[in-house]
Amino acid sequence: MNKPSSLVAQTLIDSRTILLTTHKDPDGDGLGAATALYHALSQLGKDVRLIINDPVPQRYSFLYGIEVSEVYKNDSHDVAISHADAIVLLDAATASRTGRMHRALLSASGHKVVIDHHPIREWGDVKLVNTKAASTCELVEQIVVALEVEITPQIAEALYTGMVYDTQCFMTPNTTSITHKLAAQMLTAGASLERVHDALFGSWPQGRLGLQGRFLSGLKSDTSGRISWGIIKQEDLHEYQVDAAVLDGFVNMALSTAGTELAILFTEGKTGEVGLSFRGRGGVVVNTLAELFGGGGHRRAAGASVKGDIEIIVCEVLQAATDLLSEAK
């Protein structure tokens, strides 16, 4: 009876006011997990709020119930955060990943619940953490079952969204038979495959295709062919009239050629920072590489953000990547 999922569920059952949140720049897994749990807790009559650092990207506006999400403002939310009976952090390993609200989270008095599949954590006293899970939504499914609420089509579709999103349609190496079984259960419970896939992968702005063409033709690789990388600058985004959200999936394309073991996407930010996105395969573990630059993530997918000149950062990161590969042999 002391399973982590039972302890998390009991904590939520014992709480009246519950605040849900996920990492800044929220994605399909964090938002799917949050809306699924929002629906489940609402069924139990809980007073639930979903507060996030950023507005929800258009790509996820199809999620049922996503309109309840609130963009964090310290003057209107800090009191709610400090008084909530429980705060649930989803799909994030550290409070700092929540962005501006992390100070308020650190000083909150309620139960600090974490449901996540990332390694390394500094926050939370009631946890369901499993780094082998392919998505946080896989773990939220356990909570929904433990809460003994009905898995409505809305909940099923939210969870299915996170499973599809985080595995890039069941293609990433952390996809397991459990992932497939759970996804099948969600379809049986009423999730619409067509609706989710149209929203996630079939609703890009036209400019993404043009930018994708430029990105692919500009890909570079090292002399060994083991490292492949591409750079997206602000001027590229302006030219194709898109924002950085359309870059989702680009780094995976860079990993798709024979012999490539490490792919890197460098993205120039608006305010002097450079986003680093890493993907690895074979013997290459990329979260250690991301940690060198202040970031983190999973073994095969990780990222970081670094301030500075993009040309210099590219050189530094490529040197570190080369060192990593010489260690990985």
Q: Which helix (H) or strand (E) holds 247?
A: none
Q: Indicate the residue whose CB is closest to Mn ion.
A: 29
CA–CA separation, 124 vs 270, rounded Å?
32
Token pair 């909940």 is found at 155
Q: Which CB atom, from 91 or from 268, has the smaller least distance to Mn ion?
A: 91
Q: Which CB atom, from 98 or from 228, has the smaller least distance to Mn ion?
A: 98
Q: Which CB atom, from 27 or from 236, has the smaller least distance to Mn ion?
A: 27
We find the least distance from the C-beta atom of residue 209 to Mn ion, in angstroms, to be 26
Q: Which CB atom, from 163 or from 265, has the smaller least distance to Mn ion?
A: 163
Q: Which of 60, 68, 53 is nearest to 23 (CA)?
A: 53
Q: Which of 188, 187, 206 is nearest to 197 (CA)?
A: 187
We find the least distance from the C-beta atom of residue 76 to Mn ion, in angstroms, to be 28
We find the least distance from the C-beta atom of residue 88 to Mn ion, in angstroms, to be 15
We find the least distance from the C-beta atom of residue 134 to Mn ion, in angstroms, to be 8
Structural contact between residues 236 and 208, judged by C-beta atoms closer than 8 angstroms: no
Helices (H), 73-231: 74-83, 102-106, 136-146, 153-166, 177-188, 193-201, 207-217
Residue type (1 letter), 78: D
Contacts of 126 (CB under 8 A, 6+ apart): 7, 8, 11, 111, 112, 113, 114
Q: Which CB atom, from 21 or from 136, has the smaller least distance to Mn ion?
A: 136
- Token readout for 179 is 């992932």
Q: Which CB atom, from 91 or from 261, has the smaller least distance to Mn ion?
A: 91
Note the residues at the interface with Mn ion (CB under 5 A).
29, 91, 136, 166
We find the least distance from the C-beta atom of residue 288 to Mn ion, in angstroms, to be 19
We find the least distance from the C-beta atom of residue 312 to Mn ion, in angstroms, to be 31
